[in-house]
Structure formats: C-alpha cells, structure tokens
Amino acid sequence: MKVGCLFSGGKDSNYTLFLAKKNNLDIKCLISIIPKNEESYMFQSDGNNFLEYQAEALNIDLIKQISKGEKENELLDLKEAIKKAIKKYKIKAILTGAIKSIYQASRIQKICDELNIFCINPIWQIDEEEYLNELLKNKFEIIILSIAAYPLNKSFLGEIITQNTKLKLIELYKKFKISPIGEGGEFETFILNSPLFNKKIKLIDFEKKMDSENSGKIIIKKMELVKK
Amino acid sequence: MIKVLIIDLSPTKNSLWKNEFVYPITKLIKNISNYTIIHFTDLKKTNLETFEKIILSGSPLNDFKAINKIELFHWIKDTNKPILGICAGFQIINKIFEEKLNLKKLQEIGLIEIKIEKKNILFSNNLKVYCLHNKGISKNQKIENFEILATSKICIEAIKHKKKDIYGVLFHPEVSNNEIILNFIKN
C-alpha cells in the first residue's frame, strides 16, 4: 500500500517509518506542517528548518506546508498537504506517530475520513518504557531538542538519549509523573541517526537558549550529513 | 491464569493496525491473562474451546472486511464463552444476532459522553469514551436480543446479550476507560 507519513523529525515519526518499512509499506512521502506559532496544538515546532537533512538521509520526498499554527486553521493546512500527497503520490493511507493524544489522533482520523483514505497509528498507546527500549535497541540516535517541564533543566538540552538517560527519565516519571517519552510536551526530540538513514546527521554548531530554569531549546546553527 | 483469545479484526493479517487495535488490549491484560492473538481469517483453524474468554478487537475507520465475512462468526451464536466485542466487534455481534438490523451512517470520532442505561459488570457511571466509527445503531432503534447498557446522544454504545455473557461496546476501552476490559477479564 502506498502511504505518506506525517513527519516532525522527532523519534515518534521516525520510529513509525521504521515500523512501516518493516511492514513493507510503500512510503511515498513525508508530510510536515511547519507552524509559525510555537504553541501549536497539533505540530512540533522545533527542528523544522532541518527536516530536509532527514528526508535526504531517508531518500523520501518531503512535502512542507507552512501553517499559522492557529487552533483549527492548522487542520485545514494539514488537509491541504495531505491532498497534495494524494494527488502527487496516489497514497491510500496516512501514517502518524500519535501515541496518546486523542485530540491529535481524532482530528487526523477525521481528515483522512473526509479524504477517503486510511489512517494508521502504529505506536498508538505503546508502553512507554518498552518503546524507549526499542528505540535504543534499534540504535536510533535521538537528541533532546527542547524541554518544557519541571524538573528538566538545561543539562538535558542537547543530550543524546542513552540507556542512562532512559533510567533518569523513568526515575523522573516515578517522582514527578512526567512522561518518559515526552508525551505531555515535556520535551521534544530530533533524530540524528535511524536504521533507515543512508547517512547520519552530525550536529556541528548549536546553542542552548533558556526561557526559564525548566524551559528552553536548542538553536541549531549548523548540521551536515556524514557517512555512517 | 485465564486463557483469553483476542481476535484481530484488522483488514489484513499482521498489519500495523494490529499495533493500533490489538496491542493496546494486550498491554492491559498481559499480567492477568494468558492470551493468544489470531487474525479473523484464521478462525476456522482455531479451536475456540481451549479459551475461557474472547475479545473481538476494533478495526480502522471505513474498513468492513471482517463484517463482510460474517459467515466466519456464526460460532458466536452457539458458544457459551464470555465475549467482548469492541467497535467492529460490537458491529459483528449485532449483525450475528440481529439479522434484520442495518448499521446506519452515524459518525462519532473523539471523546464522546455516554449515559449508563443499565447496571452492569463493565462500568458503573456515565463516561467520556473514545469513539472511532462511521456506523452504528441509532439510539432509538429496537434490538431484540440485547439489553442496552449505555447510549450517547445518537448511538447505542454498549450492550449485553439477554441470555449470554456477550458484551459489545461501540467505543474503544483499550484507549480510555481501561477498567472495562479489566472488568470483563476479571468478572
């Protein structure tokens, strides 16, 4: 089946692609909505300027749609982008990396229904600890791009998620109930390497910008694709 | 541990819809049951007698492959095993017992409020449930073989067979209100 994948460059959409490839789906395109509003209800706003690096490493076409990031209007932008993918690539289904957000999942389901295509959510309700284990086992190189919850602090920014980070995140979940996979918006990620990448991404220059003690992000200045 | 059969109603075997509609159920019951998953196309090869309880999973929106193979599900009429049908499973259970019933185009997607109509073992209050369906049974429609356990503004949302331990929920308790699945397994 020909499919398009909603793509943010983070761990969830990249792991979804990995499962789709294992399931022999024909991935025709990545679809990214670029919200101008950092507080978008639906879409990740960090790392969007660098999605082309991942698309090139994956060797999959990328459809980028700019959105003002306003509550319901951004759904119209998403629908437009999916329409383009249907027209250009004849896709029959949309893949998403939705895990827990009923808000997000039900809105995408409605759009797919209106456009008469299927929606596939391969990591829907996945066990959070098992998911982290799978990401590490399959050698996804995941960098923490932004944080937005106590007690995450500047030291987490730019950290590559390792077994040690996983243990720290699970400990924080036990103490403070923050999701160890950032499902409540506690942190966002960017993938530097995945089993599907032909090349890996090397982060050359970035700076950490903090808004408060527990909220901040990485401003990426330069990255490049290098041999794996 | 109790032996549970989960019947995957996704349109194709071992598809990623199994991750979406079956694995969330297994996540809930893995510590309290010994479960087996089969795809509905393998029903003829399966000895249902070896299981104590049966769950029929949901399937993606606008997929009707399983319900269009209704002949694979006639055993539901003859068995005395407790069954819980979720969404597509609810539709199949109705189709088996209410032969004249036509499912109507009644879309509910997202969180929906449902009102409890009859005391039952699965839930005891009005609930907000996750729905993902385009077809259902109108709230005002008469069904002969089932008690109505809950309704939304437009649909019958939960039923129990009048004589058997066969339950159906049109919504998805594997997503929210997980205790419904646990209550089905434990009671």
Tell me the per-residue pLDDT of B128-154, one tens digit each, with 9 for 90 and over: 999 999 999 999 898 999 999 999 999
Instruction: Name the minimum distance, in Å, from the CA of B63 to any CA of chain A.
Output: 9
Q: Do A118 and B60 touch (CB under 8 A)?
A: yes
Residues in chain B: 187
- Residue A144 has a pLDDT of 96
Kindly report, residue by residue over B12-53, the tens digit of the pLDDT: 999 999 999 999 999 999 999 999 999 999 999 999 999 999
- Residue A48 has a pLDDT of 77
Q: Do B111 and A23 touch (CB under 8 A)?
A: no
Mutation for B interface: A13, A17, A27, A125, most B CBs within 10 A:
A125
Calpha distance A85→A91 (Å, rounded):
7
Superfamily assignment of A128-227 in CATH? Answer: putative n-type atp pyrophosphatase, domain 2 (3.90.1490.10)
Residue with structure tokens 């907000």? B128
- For residue A99, what is the nearest residue in chain B, using CA coordinates? B20
Calpha distance B127→B142 (Å, rounded):
23
According to the CATH classification, is domain B2-186 in 3.40.50.300? no
ipTM value for the complex: 0.95
- Residue A36 has a pLDDT of 78
**Residues of B designated catalytic:** 87, 172, 174
A:2-61 residues touching chain B, CB 8 A cutoff: 19-20, 23, 25
Among B84, B101, B92, which Cα is nearest to B142's?
A: B101
B133 touches B85 (CB < 8 A): no
Residues 6+ apart with CB under 8 A from A216: A146, A147, A154, A157, A208, A209, A210
Q: Is A98 on the interface with B (CB under 8 A)?
A: no
Q: Do A122 and B20 touch (CB under 8 A)?
A: yes
- Residue B88 has a pLDDT of 98
Calpha distance B72→B85 (Å, rounded):
15
Do the bridges between strand A215-227 and strand A141-148 make them parallel or antiparallel, or are there none, so unpaired? antiparallel
Amino acid identity at A153 = N
For residue A193 the two structure tokens come to 């390497």
Q: Do A19 and B110 touch (CB under 8 A)?
A: no
Mutation for A interface: B10, B13, B19, most A CBs within 10 A:
B19
Along the 228 residues of chain A, how does pLDDT read in single tens digits? 999 999 999 999 999 999 999 999 999 999 999 887 666 555 555 667 799 999 999 999 999 998 876 667 889 999 999 999 999 999 999 999 999 999 999 999 999 999 999 999 999 999 999 999 999 999 999 999 999 999 999 999 999 999 999 999 999 999 999 999 999 999 999 999 999 999 999 999 999 999 999 999 998 889 999 999
Q: Point out the residue among B16, B61, B111 whose CB comes nearest to the CB of A23.
A: B16
- Residue B101 has a pLDDT of 81
Q: Is A175 on the interface with B (CB under 8 A)?
A: no
What pLDDT band is residue B99 in, cutting at 50, 70 and 90? confident
Q: What is the mean pLDDT of chain B?
A: 96
- Residue A66 has a pLDDT of 87
The strand pairing partners of B44, in sequence order, are none
pTM for the full model? Answer: 0.95
Report how far Cα A75 is from the mean position of its chain's Cα atoms: 17
Superfamily assignment of A2-120 in CATH? Answer: HUPs (3.40.50.620)
Instruction: Name the minimum distance, in Å, from the CA of A110 to any CA of chain B.
Output: 7
CB burial of B22-54 (b: ≥16 within 10 Å; e: otherwise) equals bbbbbebbeeebebebebbeebeebeeeebebb
Calpha distance B112→A15 (Å, rounded):
30
Mutation for B interface: A18, A102, A117, most B CBs within 10 A:
A102
- Listed by start position, the domains of chain A span 2-120, 128-227
